[in-house]
Amino acid sequence: MTGLTWVPASCTLPTEQQPLRVAEWDELFAERLTASTRPGRLRLHLVLAGGEDIEARVRDLAARESGCCSFFTFTVTSAAGGDVRLDVEVDPAHEKVLDALQVRAESGRP
C-alpha cells in the first residue's frame, strides 16, 4: 500500500490515489494547522489558519474523504478571526487511523 499501512481496508479510495489524498492533507496541515487537541480518544480537534477559500478547501477535502472512508465524521466550522475548525471523529474500530491522522497533522509533513 505504498507505505500507507495505516489506511484501513474499509477505505474505498483506489490504492493508487491514496498517496495523493494523503499529500492533500499533509499540504493543508503544513500550510494552515495552528492547533491540535484530542478531546477524546475518538475525536481530534484541529484549528486551521483562515485565508482565501480555506473553509471551502477544508469542506471539499473532508467531503471527498468521508465519501471513501465512511468511518470518518467531519465537522467544519468557522471560528473567530477567520480560522477554520475541523473536528474529526471515528468509531472505535478506527481509532488507529485517527492516531495516524493526528501524527501527520502535528508533524507538519509537506
pLDDT, tens digit, 9 for 90 and up, residues 33-50: 999 999 999 999 999 999
For residue 56, the SS3 value is helix
What is the model's pLDDT at position 1?
32
Q: Is residue 67 very low, low, confident or very high in pLDDT (cuts 50, 70, 90)?
A: confident
Distance separating alpha carbons of residues 57 and 59, to the nearest angstrom: 6
**Residue 101, domain member (yes or no):** yes
**DSSP E strand boundaries for the chain:** 33-40, 43-48, 73-78, 84-89
Distance separating alpha carbons of residues 98 and 106, to the nearest angstrom: 12
Provide the domain limits for residue 62.
40-107
Number of domains in the chain: 1
With beta carbons less than 8 A apart as the criterion, state whether 74 and 62 touch: yes
- For residue 89, give the CATH number of its domain: 3.30.70
**Residue 4, domain member (yes or no):** no
**Residue 15, domain member (yes or no):** no
